[in-house]
Amino acid sequence: MKNIVLVHDWLTGLRGGEKCLEVLCRHFPQARLLTLLHIPGSTGPVIERMQITTSFLQHLPGAERYYRWLLPLMPLAVDRLSIPRNTRLVVSLSHAVAKSVRPPLGIPHVCYCFTPMRYAWVQPEQYLPLEGPWPRRFWSYLGRAVLAWLRAWDRRTASRVSHFVAISRTVADRIAAYYGRQSVVIYPPVDTEFYTPGSSAQVSCAPPCREDYYLCVSALVPYKRIDLAIQACRRLGRRLVVIGQGPERRRLEHLAGPGIQMLGWADAHTLREHYRKARALIFPAWEDFGIVPVEAQACGCPVIAYGQGGAAETILPARPDRPGTGLLFRTQTVDALSRALLLLEAHPEWFDPVLARGQAGRFAAARFERELLGYLDDVLAGRAESDRPRR
């Protein structure tokens, strides 16, 4: 299919959003790919071989390292991305500003929305706390004023999207609340062919036959709440392995004590080995979807997660009368997480690794590909109605 334009916020690594983009790049190799910023070689060969066009942010000194600080300039940058008039379809993959690209008049624009701009809409206090010395509070107040302006701009430019696709029911609810728009839900892909339990013996390996440590896999940023996992494991005297990198690492290392191991970044093979061996994955974030808990379940690993957001859609809670794939704790506190860890240890028989593997299969890559490409066909054929307000 020719004359398709893909839009992505920025290309600085190969994370969950870029794995969704890869699917479209494989199917539309002749498409033009627009993005605010691209670090060459940071994604993968499927994306890197595309015809990539960047914004003026690409040429600012230090942008590759400090691009998140350029958030106030991003509305201007995305508005200046030019889409050819002969385009048949625009597909944006957005968690920040890509959804606000301006398509030619009358051209359908499908936004695969990871979330409305998290910085502006969801828990801004996690990014801009008002505690601490006055210089920090001053910048937090200034930052919140900028985010209020961004919220108004983000809501206004939602009309540039003809069809919204949400990655979860949680995100569909946000799209309805913040933009007043309807969306269909297509869950993102998880590589269930790579993330497997391994040997036949591991397929039925419940918590008692796993190694005696818990696991966290996450970017180390405030809203992920890795501090809860560290504090709960310290309180109970349990071992914890944390895999991930980010600006919170130094603070979390100060918080960690004996038995808490901070591994930093790890490749997919190392990550899979930990999913196969850990007693359980701890996932304390209020996440939009959360690929990590599904990867863990694909390896037969129990998941203990905060019961809000995407985790509530991907984990089958275990109960005395019904086996499940994990436990959900209802408040984001050390006490609640500690109780969940003790419940897991007291009742390992509640968890079914075969059921976990089957649950992960609901989110396989082939299903994502089939559903998303089918929806794009429906949009082009006029079978998918738009709820965009008429101008």
Residue-wise pLDDT tens digits, 198-214 = 865 455 565 556 899 99
Write the pLDDT tens digit of every residue in 266-286.
999 999 999 999 999 999 999
Is position 129 within any domain? yes
- The secondary structure of 237-305 as a DSSP string is T--EEEE--STTHHHHHHH--TTEEEEE---HHHHHHHHHHSSEEEE-S-BSS-HHHHHHHHTT--EEE
> Is the domain of 8 the same as that of 150?
yes
Is position 337 within any domain? yes
Q: What is the pTM of this model?
A: 0.86
Give the three-class secondary structure for 364: strand
> Is the domain of 220 the same as that of 274?
yes
Is position 194 within any domain? no
> Is the domain of 238 the same as that of 94?
no
> Is the domain of 258 the same as that of 182?
no
Question: What is the predicted pLDDT for the residue at 247?
Answer: 86
Is position 390 within any domain? no
Question: What is the predicted pLDDT for the residue at 194?
Answer: 95
CA R_g for the chain = 21
> Is the domain of 297 the same as that of 343?
yes
> Is the domain of 209 the same as that of 179?
no
Is position 111 within any domain? yes
Question: What is the predicted pLDDT for the residue at 221?
Answer: 86
> Is the domain of 303 the same as that of 268?
yes
Provide mean pLDDT across the span 68-81.
Answer: 92
Number of domains in the chain: 2
> Is the domain of 292 the same as that of 255?
yes
Both tokens assigned to 98: 């890509």
> Is the domain of 146 the same as that of 275?
no
List the domain range (segments joined by +) for residue 126: 4-189+365-381
**E strands within 73-145?**
89-94, 109-113
Is position 389 within any domain? no
Is position 234 within any domain? yes
Q: Is 225 left (phi over 0), alpha (psi -120 to 50) or beta?
A: left
> Is the domain of 104 the same as that of 25?
yes
Q: How many CB atoms lie within 10 A of CB 264?
A: 11
CATH number at residue 304: 3.40.50.2000
Write the pLDDT tens digit of every residue in 171-181.
999 999 999 99
> Is the domain of 139 the same as that of 179?
yes
60 neighbors 70 (Cβ within 8 angstroms): yes
> Is the domain of 281 the same as that of 375?
no
Both tokens assigned to 283: 């996932």
| Band of residue 48 on the pLDDT scale cut at 50, 70, 90 | very high
Is position 326 within any domain? yes
Q: How many CB atoms lie within 10 A of CB 69?
A: 10
Provide mean pLDDT across the span 230-243.
Answer: 97
73 neighbors 85 (Cβ within 8 angstroms): no
SS3 percent helix, strand, coil of the chain, rounded to 5, is 45, 15, 35
Phi, psi of 57 (to 5 degrees): -60, -25
Question: What is the predicted pLDDT for the residue at 339?
Answer: 97
